[in-house]
Amino acid sequence: MSLKPILIHPDPRLKKVADPIARITPEVETLAADMLATMYDAPGIGLAGPQIGVNSRIFVMDATRDPEAEPAPMVLINPEISWSSEAQNSYEEGCLSIPDQYASVTRPSEVRLTWLGLDGATHEREFDGLWATCAQHELDHLNGVLFIDHLSAMKRQMITRKMVKLKREQARG
Ligand SMILES: [Zn+2]
């Protein structure tokens, strides 16, 4: 298990549509373990393949909010939304690829997802609250969409400029 560097926006690898995973192999299992370790270390509640430069349809999440609660790691491969609620919910979102920037994004408050699990079986489940927000945010990543793409062009450009500056500073060391 190893921690992977997380790509920071803007990066062309964050804007690609990711490829489906054909089957569960030991490499996919290792990838999932690395992604969970990287997500918990960050710390974050979700991480998608493209964020570590892997252009595959996989994301991990654990939106357990109570720090006392047992962790509930989830690995979703080739996820799809099979149903979204009419009801919408706004949540102050952030992203490990856009550090320290938060903005309110409105999305369906409940979604039903189908996905391939590490066990090789197809799973289906409904998510609400923070889990629903997180799942939709991560699924967006697999389609090259960032949460700032849901904001006005002005807000998006403002955040992007900050990230360009941050990356320039990081490059200088
Ligand atoms: Zn994100």
Question: For residue range 11-39, what is the model confidence (pLDDT) as tens digits?
Answer: 999 999 999 999 999 999 999 999 999 99
How confident is residue 65, by pLDDT bands cut at 50, 70 and 90? confident
> Phi-psi region for residue 53, left (φ > 0), alpha (ψ -120 to 50) or beta?
left
- 62 CA distance to ligand 1 middle (Å): 13
Give the pLDDT confidence score for residue 173 in this predicted structure.
77
Of 27, 70, 124, 138, which one is the catalytic site residue? 138
Give catalytic status of residue 138 as yes or no.
Answer: yes
Helices (H), the chain: 26-41, 129-142, 153-172
Give the pLDDT confidence score for residue 14 in this predicted structure.
98
Answering whether pTM is above 0.95, one says: yes
- 8 CA distance to ligand 1 middle (Å): 10
Give the pLDDT confidence score for residue 6 in this predicted structure.
98
Q: What is the mean pLDDT of residues 152-173?
A: 95
- 125 CA distance to ligand 1 middle (Å): 21
CATH number for domain 12-172, candidates 3.90.45.10, 3.20.20.240, 3.40.50.720, 2.60.40.10: 3.90.45.10
CB atoms inside a 10 Å sphere around CB 30: 12
Can you tell me which residue has the tokens 């560097």? 5
Give the pLDDT confidence score for residue 1 in this predicted structure.
80
- 38 CA distance to ligand 1 middle (Å): 13
Q: What is the mean pLDDT of residues 137-147?
A: 98
Does the pLDDT value for residue 96 go beyond 90? yes
